[in-house]
């Protein structure tokens, strides 16, 4: 799907050749002259188009309009959330029509309206086809976003480019989140990362079992030992700034299927455990967006990926494993495996001397109980980092909510047989999981995003959401230095040179 940004007043929009023209009508819009303005005025006067956000009036072959179908869509007071709701409703109503081209006209591009509208079109048009040959891919190929004046178009260009990159990143995260576990193994995720490594300023390294064992990642390796699928540790680098600029490190949980291991999950709903790699998918999606935008920052992506399976070699409740940090862990529940692979990745992150580390994981059902499916859980001992992530989430319409990290919550993680236990009981489960991770992230500013409730939807709308790519991308772009000398930014051609891929053990 190609997105274009154009200057179009209502008169120009009426004459544009397009299958469908969607006109966003806020309560503040004052129609002037022309066929579309008259149509809006008549619709309001007759009561067919009130100010309720998402209200749609569909007109076929409107007089003076080139588009075969016109949709007048109310956006209430025109805030970004209402724009998103209105555009999603309008595009959803067109699924039986299957247009190939669509023009979306809006009167104002400020306050994240461009992001909201662009992402809503992409999300609502998305169709999963990878393992469903009977599904018809979206016919929509061209989307024009029209703004009324050249000054508005110019002012919106940077936001539009950001929105398009975010659309691509979210699409990649959704696609791989939705794939069944036998079509999204650790090796397959590694190939996706290696493909990203061919893009300008991106480099990829993939480590196999022997290399992971050599690093001393005993906690990560223990989770993988019950599966026939070999584990992978993916290291992505986006180099957009000088080497002296400390990177932000993103760590994504990549459990491509989680049975719970020996502490096996109930059968009902276990199919949704293919989504347990959505943290990894969000890191891949963020790198896709970074490769498009080429911002002047450095970012490292770390993805420990494996399956959590029962079997003769599987990790057992009561086993004690040694993490890369040297800390021993008593595994009281093998279904609390995400923290076991993340802790070694968090230790590995120290070598990059990062400005900040953010881990992203579908970690706990307790977080879903706490926050539902609206906000991701946010944990951090750094107020500065937490506030930046909260602000990024609000701007991206991908919100999170900060939960506490009081030391008292770690009391339940004490063990008689190891330095720490991997679970601390049911009460405050999302917090005790975060407290476990915090033990391995004391050498740098760190935040944990629990996306168990936001990364996918159940029921009739079952599928990955692509979250929190939007939040992560907004946060990362907010770290771009305000004044960046061109001389300090590596040229894409020089950065694009990559090492030969290491042989996997």
Q: Which of 339, 435, 439, 467 is catalytic?
A: 339
228 is catalytic: no
SS3 content of the chain, % helix, strand, coil (to 5): 40, 20, 40
pLDDT digits (tens, 9 = 90+) for 380-431: 999 999 999 999 999 999 999 999 999 999 999 999 999 999 999 889 999 9
The CATH classification number of 2-175 equals 3.40.220.10
Mean pLDDT, rounded, of the chain: 94
Give the separation between CA 215 and CA 193, rounded to whole angstroms: 21
Q: Residue 482's pLDDT band (boundaries 50, 70, 90)?
A: confident
Q: Which of 95, 265, 402, 498 is catalytic?
A: 265
* Mean pLDDT, residues 464-476 taken together: 98
pLDDT digits (tens, 9 = 90+) for 138-182: 999 999 999 999 999 999 999 999 999 999 999 999 999 999 999
pLDDT digits (tens, 9 = 90+) for 36-54: 999 999 999 999 998 888 8
pLDDT digits (tens, 9 = 90+) for 91-140: 999 999 999 999 999 998 887 999 999 999 999 999 999 999 999 999 99
Kindly list the domain boundaries of the chain, sorted by start residue.
2-175, 200-480
* Mean pLDDT, residues 51-65 taken together: 92
DSSP collapsed to 3 states, 408-448: HHHHHHCCCCCCEECCCCCCCHHHHHHHHHHCCCCCCCEEE
pLDDT of residue 496: 36
Residue 311 has pLDDT above 50, yes or no: yes
pLDDT of residue 30: 86
91 in helix, strand or coil?
helix
pLDDT digits (tens, 9 = 90+) for 198-217: 999 999 999 999 999 999 99
CA distances to 71, 74, 95, 103 from 58, in Å: 5, 12, 14, 14
339 is catalytic: yes
Dihedral angle over CA of 430, 259, 423, 212, nearest 10: -100
CA-nearest of 34, 33, 16, 13 to 24 is: 13
* Mean pLDDT, residues 84-94 taken together: 96
pLDDT of residue 497: 35
pLDDT of residue 425: 86
Give the separation between CA 500 and CA 505, rounded to whole angstroms: 15
CATH architecture, domain defined by 200-480? 3-Layer(aba) Sandwich (3.40)
Long-range contact set of residues 322-326: C-beta below 8 Å, sequence gap at least 24: 322/216, 322/218, 322/219, 323/216, 323/217, 323/218, 323/219, 323/347, 323/440, 324/215, 324/216, 324/217, 324/218, 324/219, 324/220, 324/348, 325/440, 326/216
pLDDT of residue 504: 52
pLDDT digits (tens, 9 = 90+) for 449-463: 999 999 999 999 999
What's this model's pTM, rounded to 2 decimal places? 0.94
Which residues have C-beta within 8 Å of that of residue 322, sequence separation ≥ 6? 216, 218, 219, 328, 329
2-175 and 200-480 in the same fold: no
Pick the residue with more confidence: 50 or 285? 285
pLDDT digits (tens, 9 = 90+) for 253-277: 999 999 999 999 999 999 999 999 9
Residue 499 has pLDDT above 60, yes or no: no
């Amino acid at each position: 799907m190609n997105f274009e940004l154009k200057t179009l007043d209502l008169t120009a929009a009426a004459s544009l050749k397009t299958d469908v023209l969607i006109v966003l009508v806020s309560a503040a819009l004052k129609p002037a002259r022309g066929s579309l303005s008259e149509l809006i005025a008549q619709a309001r006067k007759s009561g067919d188009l009130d100010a309720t956000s998402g209200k749609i009036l569909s007109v076929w072959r409107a007089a003076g309009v080139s588009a075969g179908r016109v949709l007048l869509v109310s956006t209430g007071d025109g805030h970004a959330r209402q724009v998103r709701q209105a555009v999603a409703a309008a595009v959803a109503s067109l699924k039986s029509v299957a247009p190939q081209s669509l023009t979306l006209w809006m009167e104002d591009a400020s306050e994240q309206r461009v992001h909201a509208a662009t992402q809503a079109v992409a999300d609502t048009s998305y169709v999963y086809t990878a393992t469903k040959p009977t599904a018809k891919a979206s016919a929509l190929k061209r989307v024009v976003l029209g703004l009324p004046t050249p000054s508005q178009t110019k002012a919106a260009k940077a936001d539009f480019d950001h929105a398009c990159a975010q659309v691509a990143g979210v699409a990649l995260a959704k696609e791989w989140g939705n794939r069944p576990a036998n079509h999204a193994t650790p090796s397959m995720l590694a190939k996706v990362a290696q493909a990203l490594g061919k893009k300008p300023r991106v480099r990829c390294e993939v480590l196999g079992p022997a290399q992971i064992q050599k690093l001393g990642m005993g906690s990560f390796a223990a989770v993988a030992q019950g599966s026939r699928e070999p584990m992978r540790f993916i290291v992505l680098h986006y180099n957009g700034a000088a080497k002296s600029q400390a990177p932000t490190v993103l760590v994504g949980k990549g459990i491509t299927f989680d049975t719970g291991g020996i502490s096996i999950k109930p059968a009902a709903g276990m199919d949704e455990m293919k989504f347990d790699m959505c943290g990894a998918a969000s890191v891949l999606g963020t790198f896709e967006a970074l490769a498009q935008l080429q911002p002047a920052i450095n970012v490292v992506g770390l993805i420990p990926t494996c399956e959590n399976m029962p079997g003769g070699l599987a990790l057992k409740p009561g086993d004690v494993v040694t993490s890369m940090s040297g800390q021993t862990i008593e595994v009281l529940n093998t279904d609390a495996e995400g923290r076991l692979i993340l802790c070694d990745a968090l230790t590995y992150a120290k070598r990059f001397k990062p400005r900040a580390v953010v881990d992203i994981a579908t970690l706990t059902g307790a977080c879903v109980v706490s926050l539902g499916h609206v906000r991701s859980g946010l944990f951090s001992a750094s107020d500065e980092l937490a506030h930046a992530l909260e602000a990024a989430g609000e701007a991206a319409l991908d919100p999170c909510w900060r939960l506490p990290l009081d030391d008292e919550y770690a009391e339940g993680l004490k063990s008689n047989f190891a330095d720490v236990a991997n679970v601390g009981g049911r009460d405050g489960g999302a917090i005790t999981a975060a407290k476990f991770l915090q033990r391995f992230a004391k050498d740098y500013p760190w935040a944990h995003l629990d996306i168990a409730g936001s990364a996918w939807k159940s029921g009739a709308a079952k599928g990955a959401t692509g979250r929190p790519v939007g939040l992560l991308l907004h946060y990362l772009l907010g770290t771009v230095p305000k004044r960046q000398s061109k001389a300090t930014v590596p040229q894409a051609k020089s950065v694009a040179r990559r090492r030969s891929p290491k042989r996997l053990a």
